[in-house]
Chain A
């Protein structure tokens, strides 16, 4: 099993450009999450999807949108990238929202210039 996969691994954007980060899991998990990781700040939750068809804001949702395309896939979109969104982005999944053992993808390193 691949677990949680993310594409791309690296991306450089100019301010104002848009892009979508892709995430897929093959563990038949119900819940999926997007985090950003910044130095010294741990991981902060951007958005999550407790189950297919639902999405909710996390701690830092501003500037992002998400789509739970189906049970496997959960994408994160930056409509107009800003330098403050330079970060490492992680997708994660868990069996259900009531089980907090989350499985993480390898991350996407995004730089906005």
Chain B
């Protein structure tokens, strides 16, 4: 089946620190990969996506590269801000599975001033 594994949090950082959240996946078929972000008290928002190997998704200073050889899609940001405090979810979808999203467990990130 399809599954997503991401590092458990919480991850606590100081402002301007470098952030990495690891995400690995298993999939039957060729998946599209996503990062969603959930700010406190809100629903999830799409942060970035990549649909084929070696694609790099980017948005709001965040980046993630689709690595087929290591089945990974790690999220990075070079200099975090307090406003980046949120829960981050890695997810995949496979056309053969009706494009339904499979989510990882989420990683809570707390950025302190």
Contact = CB atoms under 8 A, between A and B. Distances in A.
B42 A106 contact: yes
Given A90-B43, A105-B43, A106-B42, A100 B104 contact: no
A43 B43 contact: no
A45 B99 contact: no
Contacts, number: 55
Contacts of A99: 99
A104 B99 contact: no
Contacts of A97: 98-99
A40 interface: yes
Nearest to A44: B103
- Between B4, B93, B100, the greatest number of chain A beta carbons within 10 A of the residue's beta carbon is seen for B100
Interface string B71-97: 000000000000000000101010100
B32 interface: yes
A94 to B, nearest CB: 8
A4 B43 contact: yes
Contact of B100 (A4, A42, A58, A101): A58
Interface of A: 4, 33, 40-45, 48, 50, 56, 58, 90, 92, 97-107
Contact of B98 (A50, A90, A102): A50
Contacts of B101: 43, 45, 100, 102
B105 A41 contact: yes
Of all A-B residue pairs in the complex, the 8 with the closest CB atoms, nearest first, are A104-B43, A42-B103, A100-B93, A104-B44, A43-B103, A42-B105, A100-B99, A106-B43
A62 B9 CA distance: 30
Nearest to A42: B103
